[in-house]
Structure formats: C-alpha cells, structure tokens
Amino acid sequence: MIQDTTRERGPADPPAATILGYPRQGPGRELKRATEAYWSGRQDADELLAAVSELRLARWAEQHAAGLDELPSNDFSLYDHVLDTAWMLGAVPERHRAAVPDIDTARGRLDRYFAMARGTADIEPLEMTKWFDTNYHYLVPELSPDTTFELDPTKPLAEFTAARRAGFLTRPVIIGPISFLLLAKPAPGAPERFRPLDLIDSVLPLYEGLLQRLHAAGALWVQIDEPCLGTDQPDDVLDQVRGCYSRLAAAKDRPKIIVAGYFGRLGATLGVLAGLPIDGLAVDLVGPAAANLDDLEQLGKLSAERLLAGVIDGRNIWATDLAAALTTLERVGRLVDRVDVSTSCSLVHVPLDVGLEPGWGARYPGWFAFARQKLDELVVLRRGITQGRAAIAEELEINASRRAERLASPLVHNARVRERVATVTEAAERRKCPFPDRRLVQQRRWQLPAVPTTTIGSFPQTAELRRARAALRRRQLSEADYQQAMRREIDSVIAEQERLGLDVLVHGEPERNDMVQYFAEQLDGFLTTEHGWVQSYGTRYVRPPVLVGDVSRPAPMTVPWATYAQSRTDKPVKGMLTGPVTMLAWSFVRDDQPIATTAFGVALALREEVADLERAGIGIIQVDEPALREMLPLRRADRAAYLDWAVRAFRLATAAVEDSTQIHTHMCYAEFGDVLDAIIAMDADVISLEAARSKMAIVADLAQAGYPNEVGPGVWDIHSPRVPPTEEIVDHLRTAVAAFGDRVWANPDCGLKTRGYPEVKAALANLVAAAGQVRSTG
Ligand code: GLN
Ligand code: ZN
C-alpha cells in the first residue's frame, strides 16, 4: 500500500503540510551510537546499515503519524549531506580512493565515505566549514578541471524505495548543482583561475540522469535545495542559475521540481527564482525573511504551481505565533495556485523533541516547539488554510494565551534588568582614556617583558576532569570534593606555567564543560536542556542553551576560581569570560525583542562580572568572542547593523574598568577580512587571533587596516598535535614584530582543551624560548 504522501497535485488540490528536512540523530542519538560503534569496530557494516534504516523508517513514521501530508527523503545522512552529494556525483578525491580502493562491499563504501569525512591515519579528510550562518558544519568538496563526475544515485534511490516499501511516497531532497559547486573549493593543485562553478556543464547531465532515475522509481516531486541563493551572488552566477534550471526543466521523464532557496531574504534573487520554469518554490518567510513575502507580492502571481511557504522557523525553538503565520499564508495564497505549509529550512538546526525535557511540559506549557512540535504546528496551520480560521479557533486561542503567559512570566520579564538595558548610555561603552594613555599606565603596572607570553585560557581537559564533572552531576561526588579536585588541577596548571616561564597565566578552565553553557547555567534568563542535541558535524552534537528572558547574574561566576589561581602565583593571572556575541551565537535566542537589546542585556551581566574580577584584584581580563565573525550576516547589506551592536555589546561588557586593567579578547576561525574595522572598534587592549593556519596572513591585513592596540597572532596551530619548532615560532613572531613593533604578544591560536599534555608542554616550551630569542635579538 502506498500512502498518499506525495499525491500528484494540481491547482485544485488541497495544500500540504510538509518540512524541508528533519533531525537525523533519533531520540536517543541512536545514529551517533551506531556510527561510533562502527568506527571502533564494535559493530560491523551490516549492523550499522540496519540501525540506520530502522532510524530512517522511524522518522518517516513519526512525521506521518503527526499528520504531515508530504514527507522528505534523502534529507537523512550518515555524516553530512554535502558529502553525500559529492559522493553521488563521484567527486571523490584521489587520496580517498587510494586509501580505500575496494568499494565492492558495504564496508568498503562506508570506509571510503568516512575517510572523506574524517581522514585516516595517513590522509587528510575533506576540509570542514560552517554551513552558512548556522552552527552546522559541512565537508567541502574538492574539485578540479580533472574531476571526472560519475553518477551514483544509490542513496537517494534507496531511501525513496525504502520509504515507498513502508508506504510513504516521499519527496527526495538533493542539493542543487549551483550550490554544490559554490560550496566546493578548488582541489590542491588546481589552476589558479579555476572556479568550481566552471564545471556546471559537467554536472548537469548527472542531475538529469538522477531526475530520470527518481522518476522511474516513482517520485512525483523532488526538492532541489539552492541555499547559496540566500547569499549575495553576482549576475553571472544568477545567469548560470537561469541556464541550469531551464535545462533541468526541459529534461524528459522527470519528477516535478521544487527549488528551495532558504536562509534569509532573497532580494533580487527572488525574481530570478520566481522566473525559473520550474514547478514549485520553497521560500523562507520567517523573521527578517518575512520581507520575501513583500518582494513576492511585488512580483505578482507566480507561474510555478506550488509555493512551500516557510512560515515555521527551522532555526529557533519558540512556539510559532500561529495567527501571524496564518495571515502570512493567506497572503501567499493570493499569489499562487497552491500554498503549502512548510518550514523555513531543514529542521536539523533544532533539537528533536521538547517532550524529552523532564518537567518542561508543566513548567513551560506551549512555550517551545522543537522539531517534533513543529510538525503539529504545520498540521494545525494546514487545517487553518484549508478549513478557515474558525476551524482552528481553539488552537489559535491557546497559542496566543501561552505566548502572552511566556512573555509575562518572571523568567522572561525582569523589570530591573529591562530598566538598566533601556538606560544604557553611550558613555558606558567607552573606556576612561584612549588606548595610548591606558597603555602607559598598564606598562607601569604590569612590567611585562617585550613579546609577553600567554595562552588563550583552557588547558587540556583530561579524562579525570571529565570524570569528576560527570560524578558531580550524578551526585557521586560532593560539591566540596569537586571543588577540591578542580583546585588541585588549578595548582598543577599554575605550577606548569611557572615552570615553563609564561608571563601571563591562566587558571586553565577545568571547571567549564563548555564556554557558553558554563555561563548560561549560572545566569538567570537562560535555560539549559538535557536532551536538546543539535548536530554540529558528523557524530558531534551540541546542546545550545536557551536564552529565554531578561538576563541577570545572581552571583559572581568566575571570581572564586580566578582569585584562587591568583593566590597560587606572583605572576598575573588572566580572568576568562565568554563575550556577549558568542553567548548569543551558540544559544537559541528569544524572539520577542530586537537581538541587539538581548545582547546588551547579556553584556550588562558580564560587565558586573568584569567589575567583580577587577575588584578582586584580577587586573587582566579576557573576554572571548570566537563567534563574532561567524555571526556575520550572509548578505552584505545586513552587516553594518550587526557589527554595530556586536561591537557595542563587547564594549559595554568591558569598558567600565580602570585604565590599569588590561582587557584582552580572543577570536578564532581565520577569515577576519570582513571584520577588521569591528576588531579595531572593540578597543580591547590586546587581541589574540587564530593565525598559524593561514600563515600569519592576518598580520598584514590588520596592519594595513591600521590596528592600533596590542596583538597576539597565534603562532602555534593547536588544531593538530604537531609541535611547532622554536625557529618556526621565531619566524612568525618576527613577522608580527615587523608589522606591530613592541605591541606583539606570543600565544597559541586557541584554547588547549582538546590537546594532550605532552604536546602542550613541548609547544609552550618552544613558544617561551622563541619569545626569549625575539626579545634579545629584536
Ligand atoms: N578561552 C577559551 C579556551 O581557551 C577560548 C575558546 C575559543 O576560542 N573557542 O578554551
Ligand atoms: Zn579560539
């Protein structure tokens, strides 16, 4: 029996409730467990594949039972959907083919696939990078003019047929040719001027072949994702988009095509999309992307027969304002023959089910919609547009009153905090003196040598530390014993740094599970989840905290640890906080006020912590903003407004200190080009940056931008276990000194928590020796 989940649809058909994609992991992160069991040899290939097919079936069954009319397939992935696409097109680098030459068996195919994802002992994996401005990471295909594409449609076909056998006629999801090529990078050794998009004519026949195969298997619709359309694209790329879809649309024997352009406002690209000779469009209509609807209205009636209206937010976890969504759907209904109710993007960016959080149902009734709850919302809205508002009057009323309850709840609304945020003055964002004057005061106070040495904060997180934290959580360790264990660790981290001869020490962050969660757990206004896992990459999942309301700090968060560390040494200990932008970037953020207001609230809470640290004698304080660059909006037009509030929030958190207190910040993830002015405007006394991987390119960029304060370009790439030799660090430091003179610090690229002690000791010894050499010889 085939359930009617993708009927052949015409103008008269009722709308469908559907989604662009669903979380992959399963309620108990079964996917992670099965995959890791395979990697460690505890399960064989057949066991992994069996676990996976069970999981996929369960996902479809769940979506169907919730009442969705049309289900996606091939949105599942063993590791990453861009990697799947590279595999499907045969874009497998030679080194991965050579590493696993035989793919006649299931094991061989898995091993080659995982070699691309994770590398092997001798070969590098594909590079990994962020998926647009989300916290998901994809594997970057490597292409060159020599890449020989060859279609392997096994995965999309197998998923489609497996679903069909179970009674679900699904809509396969594939990454479109334009985005696939734009997301790829030139393979090592490719000619200078080569752009992956040049290969469009080589990949299009494969897409035509795929469409044909899916059609033959019985697929009526496919969803082709083109998320790159959400970013600024030059006219020649838009021409390619037109050419590409005219050609795919002309293919004989194909399913009907929906092109999905998600992540934000499409602007002029929307006109291109609407003009394509395709059968359906999926458009993000949430948050700032609501403007897509105005733009659509300008364009008039669509020629495509369906529009999947993305009215449910695929990237945040709040219950949808159903009445507002219904209004949007009614407006869309005037523009197209069929409006379908959908999500703004795939739901892989949100956790699976609020129902997994113990007690939340009673404590926060109707506040949240994780992926599973979003299905219910879609179905209600579908009823609303097919049967009219009156048919869902009760749901609308409950939804509205729950929302009102949330916004009025003391957890969300704190009058004192609101008052403080509302009365922030520009003066509060400014240090007392300009940098050159502060610098003199700081030099007198700290008496640091030239090219001072320091680290970014964390020291290796040993198995013992993790065990202690887990034991505390399970109440097998008392709070007092835990404190004792952490103090012992701080003692040894301080002693090690003294032995190495570092100048500015850190306490090592042994007590922090995660640099955002640690603070979220201590601040009012944040909630943390137990099972709210979201895929970061491969089998790595994170649990972003939820910023629900006005943020305040009931008690100091880091002062006892920092002052304890300071009591163990005469050298200065640097206090360590996570900055406001990063707190927001790695959380789910409230939807009831402008994000800048939320950022200022977090900044004010951190400002209190900075003041307490200073009062307790901690006169060097680092406020990390590793996420500042990654929050940068996709579209250039939106960037200035973002950078404005981001910089202001940082300054608000840090500016209240005395001249003699030295504020540091730290950023990682290369590519600082777009944010150099913001880095300058932050006005930290010292910034440490990732630099070693990019061969210190940042030094020239910063110098050229006229960066006036002190800077520590990372001279040791901590992302690999390699220990940099002293001479190499000396070279890096000399490059920096040539650009910044006496304003240079010596430090690694990032925190050391993922490294082991042997390489940390060796590399830091070389770093201290290198700084010594540069000091004495200039
Ligand atoms: N202070 C943090 C650490 O050392 C910074 C981490 C980061 O930049 N991501 O771990
Ligand atoms: Zn870092």
CATH code of the domain containing 132: 3.20.20.210
How far is residue 285 from each of residues 136, 264, 372, 578, measured CA to CA in Å? 21, 8, 20, 32
pLDDT of residue 720: 85
Listed residues 407, 441, 460: the one ending a domain = 407
State yes or no: is 666 an active-site residue: no
pLDDT of the residue at 57: 98
Distance 668 CA to ligand 2 centre (A): 4
Cβ of 457 closer than 6 Å to ligand 1, yes or no, is: yes
Q: How far apart are the C-alpha atoms of 635 and 278, rounded to whole Å?
A: 25
Selected residue with higher pLDDT from 258 and 670: 258
Q: What is the pLDDT of residues 742-765, one digit of tens each?
A: 999 999 999 999 999 999 999 999
Q: Is 718 in the pocket of ligand 1 (CB under 6 A)?
A: no
How many CA within 13 A on the CB side of residue 93?
27
Which of the pair, 1 or 388, is modelled with greater confidence?
A: 388
CA distances from 674 to 230, 467, 634 (A): 18, 41, 11
d(CA 617, CA 559): 10
Residue 9 has pLDDT above 70, yes or no: no
Residue where a domain terminates, one of 348, 383, 407: 407
Does any domain span residue 691? yes
Q: How large is the angle between the packed helices 595-615 and 415-422, nearest 10 degrees?
A: 90
Partners of 577 in the beta sheet?
A: 623
Of 493, 515, 578, best ligand 1 pocket probe by most atoms within 8 Å of the beta carbon:
515
Residue with CA nearest ligand 1 atom 10: 751
**CB of residue 621 inside a 6 A radius of ligand 1:** no
Is there a single domain that holds both residue 434 and residue 403?
no
Q: Are residues 399 and 490 in the same domain?
A: no
Q: At what angle do helices 639-654 and 595-615 cross, to 10 degrees?
A: 20
- Ligand 1: residue of 586, 624, 625, 687 to mutate (most ligand atoms within 8 A of CB) is 624
* 318 located within any domain: yes
Give residue-wise pLDDT tens across range 324-358.
Answer: 999 999 999 999 999 999 999 999 999 999 999 99
Q: Measured from the CB, is residue 63 less than 6 Å from ligand 1?
A: no
Assess whether 365 and 471 both reside in one domain: no
Strands 686-689, 540-542: pairing kind = unpaired
Among the bound ligands, name the one nearest to the CA of residue 516: 1
CA 656 → CA 1, 437, 446, distances in Å? 69, 16, 19
* Distance from residue 349's CA to the centre of ligand 1 (Å): 23
Which atom of ligand 1 is closest in space to residue 457's alpha carbon? 4
Same domain, 193 and 314: yes
Q: Do 388 and 476 belong to one domain?
A: no
Q: According to the model, what pLDDT value does residue 14 have?
A: 80
From the CA of 127, how far away is ligand 2's center (Å)?
18
Question: Cα(419)–Cα(647) distance, rounded to whole angstroms?
Answer: 21
- Is the pLDDT assigned to residue 546 strictly greater than 60? yes
User: Hey, which of 750, 753, 755 would you mutate to test ligand 1's pocket, going by the most ligand atoms within 8 Å of its Cβ?
Assistant: 750
In this structure, what token pair is assigned to residue 634? 């996709």
Q: Is the CB of 456 under 6 A from ligand 1?
A: yes
Q: Is 750 in the pocket of ligand 1 (CB under 6 A)?
A: yes
Q: Which ligand is nearest to the CA of 752?
A: 1
Establish if 20 belongs to a structural domain: no
Chain segment 690-706, per-residue pLDDT in tens: 998 788 889 999 999 99
Looking at the fold, whether 644 and 730 belong to one and the same domain comes out as: yes
Cα–ligand 1 centroid distance for 405 (angstroms): 37
Where a domain ends, among 351, 381, 407? 407
Task: Specify the residue with its C-alpha closest to ligand 1, atom 1.
Answer: 457
Q: Which atom of ligand 1 is nearest to the CA of 512?
A: 10
As a whole number of angstroms, the distance between CA 408 and CA 405 comes to: 5
Give residue-wise pLDDT tens across range 58-115: 999 999 999 999 999 999 999 999 999 999 999 999 999 999 999 999 999 999 999 9
Which ligand has an atom closest to residue 515 CA?
A: 1
For helices 393-408 and 322-333, the axis angle rounded to 10 degrees is 130
CB 264 within 8 A of CB 289: yes
Instruction: Give me the amino acid identity at 276.
Output: L
Mean pLDDT computed over 675-692: 96
Distance between CA atoms of 621 and 563, rounded to whole angstroms? 12
Neighbours of ion ligand 2 (CB under 5 A): 626, 668, 750
Q: How far is the CA of 557 from the centre of ligand 2 (A)?
A: 21
Instruction: Return the percentage of the chain with pLDDT > 90, whole number.
Output: 93
DSSP 3-state of 644: helix
Helices vs. strands in the chain: H and E counts, helices first? 28, 21
Amino acid in the structure at residue 403:
R
Q: Among 105-119, 120-134, 506-520, 673-687, whose mean pLDDT is lowest?
A: 120-134
pLDDT classification of 7: cutoffs 50, 70, 90: low
30: burial class by Cβ within 10 Å (0-12, 13-18, 19+)?
Answer: middle
pLDDT value at position 724? Answer: 96
Per-residue pLDDT tens for 24-43?
999 999 999 999 999 999 99
**Residue 359 above 90 pLDDT?**
yes
What angle is formed at CA 191 by the lines to CA 186 and CA 193, rounded to 5 degrees?
A: 85
What pLDDT is recorded for position 350? Answer: 98
Asked if the model's pLDDT at residue 687 lies above 80, the reply is: yes
**55 band by pLDDT with thresholds 50, 70 and 90:** very high
Q: What is the pLDDT of residues 566-578, one digit of tens each?
A: 999 999 999 999 9
Q: Which atom of ligand 1 is nearest to the CA of 622?
A: 1
Same domain, 395 and 519: no
Q: What is the phi-psi region of residue 551: left when phi exceeds 0, alpha when psi lies from -120 to 50, beta otherwise?
A: beta
Task: Give residue 717's identity as a one-letter amino acid code.
Answer: D
User: Same structural domain for residues 98 and 164?
Assistant: yes
pLDDT at position 6, please? Answer: 57
Query: Please, are residues 378 and 19 in contact by the beta-carbon 8 Å criterion?
Result: yes
Ligand nearest to the CA of 460: 1
| Among 717, 774, 719, 718, CA closest to 745 | 774
Is 12 inside any structural domain? no
Lowest mean pLDDT, pick from 553-557, 717-721, 752-756: 717-721
437 and 360 in one domain?
no
Which ligand lies nearest the alpha carbon of 753? 1
In a domain, 255, yes or no: yes
CA–CA gap between residue 581 and residue 627 (Å, rounded): 7
Q: Which of 135, 454, 456 to mutate to test the pocket of ligand 1 (most atoms within 8 A of CB)?
A: 456
- The best mutation among 135, 493, 509 to test binding of ligand 1, ranked by most ligand atoms within 8 Å of the C-beta, falls on 509
CB atoms within 10 A of CB 66: 17
pTM: 0.95
| Domain extent for 652 | 415-777
14 lies in some domain:
no
Tell whether the model's pLDDT for residue 11 goes beyond 80: no
Token output for 170: 């699904």
Residues 717/692, Cβ–Cβ less than 8 Å: yes
Helix (H) or strand (E) segment spanning residue 542: strand 540-542
pLDDT at 2: 53
What is the number of domains present in the chain? 2
Tell me the per-residue pLDDT of 423-438, one tens digit each, with 9 for 90 and over. 999 999 999 999 999 9
Ligand 1 site, residue 624, Cβ cutoff 6 A? yes
Say yes or no to pLDDT of 1 above 50: no
Amino acid (1-letter code) at residue 689: L
Distance CA 67, CA 85 (A): 29
Residue with CA closest to ligand 1 atom 6: 751
25 in a structural domain: no
Which candidate in 215, 413, 531, 719 is catalytic?
719
Q: Mean pLDDT of all residues in the chain?
A: 95
For the stretch 185-219, pLDDT in tens is 999 999 999 999 999 999 999 999 999 999 999 99
How far, in Å, from the CA of 665 to the mean position of ligand 1?
10
In a domain, 2, yes or no: no
Nearest atom in ligand 1 to the alpha carbon of residue 456 is 4
Q: Name the DSSP letter for residue 515.
A: T
Which ligand is located closest to the Cα atom of residue 750? 2
Residue 458 CB less than 6 A away from ligand 1: yes
753 lines ligand 1 (CB under 6 A): yes
DSSP string, 709-749: SEEEE--S-TTSSPPPPHHHHHHHHHHHHHHHGGGB-B--S
Q: Are residues 428 and 292 in the same domain?
A: no
| Ligand 1 pocket member 626 (CB < 6 A) | yes
- pLDDT, residue 264, reads 86
Distance (angstroms) between ligand 1 centre and the Cα of 315 equals: 25
CA distance 139 to 85: 10
> Where does 35-145 show beta strands of DSSP type E?
72-73, 128-130, 137-139, 142-143
Please write down the HEC assignment for all residues of 411-461: CCCCHHHHHHHHCCCHHHHCCCCCHHHHHHHHHHHHCCCCCCEECCCECCC
Q: Is the CB of 579 under 6 A from ligand 1?
A: no
Instruction: Indicate the SS3 state at residue 310.
Output: strand
Same domain assignment for residues 356 and 471: no
Band the pLDDT of 12: cuts 50, 70, 90: low
pLDDT of residue 153: 98
* pLDDT band per the 50, 70, 90 thresholds, residue 668: confident
630 lines ligand 1 (CB under 6 A): no
* 371, 436: one domain: no
Contact present, 15 and 255 (Cβ < 8 Å): no
In this prediction, residue 414 carries a pLDDT of 93
Q: What would the two tokens of residue 667 be?
A: 């950023």
User: Tell me, what's the pLDDT at 758?
Assistant: 96
